[in-house]
Amino acid sequence: MRKSEVWVFFLLPYLLVLGLFSLVSYLNRQAIQVGVETLAKEQLQATATILKENIKELLDRNETPARILDGFSGLEDVYFIALLDEKERILDWHSKFEGYLPFSRRDRPAVEFWVVDSPMGSVFNHYSSFSTADGRVYNLYLGYSLQNLDLLLARSRRNFWLVLGLLAAAGLVIFAGLYRLHDSFQKVQAEAIKQAEEKERFREISGFTAGVAHEIKNPLNSLALLFELLEKKSPPELGPQISRGKGEIQKIGAVVDRFSELIKPLSLRKEKFSFSDAIRGEADSLQALARERGVTIELKIPASLEVEGDRLLLARVVSNLIKNALEASRYGQKVSVEAGLRRQALIFSVKDEGRGIAPEDSEKIFEPFVSFKETGLGVGLYLVRKIVEAHRGKIYFKSRPGAGTEFTVELPGGQNG
């Protein structure tokens, strides 16, 4: 699955769920509002009917509007009450919010019920007329507070945003986990494909190399015997040329041996040995090359650091890494060799101050027959990785062009001697 497909198959359902939740919440709030307003209308209509009968009776007794409304001013949930004559002039009124009566003859809608905003929230209005026994017409104006509805809707909105936030956060966490899982799967898949391609390439190279080595070995042995015979039979003045020829044959033989070694499967002969002594021994054997290049080898290793593995093969790892560091260094520079323990693993590193490895070359550094040195064959680091991985270890490096390179090897089971 491509990353774009992850976005499509997760993001669209994710947004759809959030959208449906928002729609359901909105419809729920609307239903609550309509339901409460319906109840308020019924209650207000019943209250108005009762009040009109009571007020009509009091008016028939010639009670004043002020005294009449004083008796009804304390009704629960009635926000305001007003009595108007037939010309809609206010005779008297009471309000729980002093000085506030939202009435205008010009703006009054031609309906019996409507809702207005007030300093105390929404108010449900009721306006109706009635007649007394002597035919006088009056209008009753009531306001019913919907403050509880406002509080309910506000709580509903808070809950909506809270739940929406939790859903969004949970979705993002799930998406992040899914994305990381997909990314990890892609990397593993890419690594598996790369390893398969490398194995196939190596199999082809191995077959070719084995054939070439076999074809070269026989004539090379014949040439070596011929030079031995020439050395015995030729005049002394040809000695230097014959020796040079023998040296070239030996170089060719060494190259063939290295290629032959590359294609052979590793057979480990494990034993517990002092890795510190192996480092010192390989460093001593490379001192001549270090002096020749004017480079100092600095060792920072414990007196006795032991590991279980193939002594000869791991010594070769040490030798190759130090030799590569020396060859990458310039006159007057230093190669640092360190070893120690970290979380029950032996850590061995070689750091130089040389030219470093270009970023575009870092992916190929461990591939066989890839070399960035003029005289390199490209098998040294491949063999190093092969040996390290055969010991269930790992090798990695960090490098900055112009600032040097550090190779690090981690081997399991290290301990102080």
CATH number of residue 299's parent domain: 3.30.565.10
d(CA 248, CA 160): 85
Residues 6+ apart with CB under 8 A from 184: none
d(CA 217, CA 395): 34
Domain boundary among 263, 296, 324: 263
* Chain Cα centroid distance, residue 181: 9
Residues 103-154: pLDDT tens digits? 777 778 888 888 887 776 778 888 999 999 989 999 999 888 777 666 666 7
* In the chain, % of residues over pLDDT 70: 84
Residue 35: pLDDT band (50, 70, 90) is confident
Give yes or no: residues 44 and 139 share one domain.
Answer: yes
Residue 205: pLDDT band (50, 70, 90) is low
Whether residue 96 contacts residue 79, with contact meaning beta carbons closer than 8 Å, is answered with yes
- Mean pLDDT across the stretch 162-177? 79
Residue 400: pLDDT band (50, 70, 90) is confident
Give yes or no: residues 328 and 281 share one domain.
Answer: yes
Domain boundary among 145, 171, 202: 145
Q: How many CB atoms are closer than 10 A to CB 348? A: 27
Residues 308-362: pLDDT tens digits? 999 988 998 999 999 999 998 999 999 999 999 988 899 999 999 988 888 877 7
For residue 229, count CB atoms less than 10 angstroms from its CB and return exposed for 0-12, middle for 13-18, buried for 19 or more.
exposed
Query: How does DSSP classify residue 230?
Result: H
Give yes or no: residues 284 and 247 share one domain.
Answer: no
Q: Is 168 domain-assigned? A: no
Whether residue 311 contacts residue 378, with contact meaning beta carbons closer than 8 Å, is answered with no
Give yes or no: residues 257 and 275 share one domain.
Answer: no
What pLDDT sits at residue 129? 92
Containing domain of residue 405, as a range? 270-416
Instruction: Report the interhelical angle of 380-390 vs 239-263 (nearest 10°).
Output: 40
d(CA 100, CA 358): 81
Q: Is 171 domain-assigned? A: no
Place of tokens 């007057």: 332
Residues 6+ apart with CB under 8 A from 142: 44, 47, 48, 51, 78, 80, 81, 82, 125, 126, 127
d(CA 163, CA 25): 10
Domain boundary among 246, 263, 280: 263
Give yes or no: residues 258 and 280 share one domain.
Answer: no
d(CA 342, CA 201): 36
Residues 6+ apart with CB under 8 A from 363: none
Looking at the 3D structure of the chain, how many domains does it have?
A: 3
pTM over 0.95: no
Instruction: Report the interhelical angle of 380-390 vs 311-328 (nearest 10°).
Output: 140
Give yes or no: residues 362 and 398 share one domain.
Answer: yes
What pLDDT sits at residue 348? 94
Q: Is 410 domain-assigned? A: yes
Give yes or no: residues 347 and 286 share one domain.
Answer: yes
Give yes or no: residues 300 and 354 share one domain.
Answer: yes
Buried b (16+ CB within 10 A) or exposed e, 40-68: bbeebbebbeebbeebbebbeeeeebeeb
d(CA 377, CA 371): 6
For residue 27, give the H/E element and its range: helix 12-60
Cα torsion 241, 247, 249, 255 to 10°: value is -150
What pLDDT sits at residue 296? 94
Give yes or no: residues 288 and 394 share one domain.
Answer: yes
Q: Is 166 domain-assigned? A: no
Give yes or no: residues 243 and 369 share one domain.
Answer: no
d(CA 257, CA 263): 10
Which alpha helices (H) appear in 234-379, and where do they start and end? 239-263, 275-285, 287-293, 311-328
Q: E-assigned strands of 291-384? A: 296-300, 305-310, 334-342, 345-351
Q: Is 156 domain-assigned? A: no
Judged against a pLDDT cut of 90, whether residue 243 lies above it is answered with: no
Give yes or no: residues 257 and 274 share one domain.
Answer: no
Strands 334-342 and 296-300: what pairing?
A: parallel
Whether residue 71 contacts residue 50, with contact meaning beta carbons closer than 8 Å, is answered with no
Q: How many CB atoms are closer than 10 A to CB 311? A: 17
d(CA 220, CA 249): 7
Give yes or no: residues 242 and 276 share one domain.
Answer: no
Residue 165: pLDDT band (50, 70, 90) is confident
Q: E-assigned strands of 67-179? A: 78-85, 90-95, 113-118, 121-131, 137-145
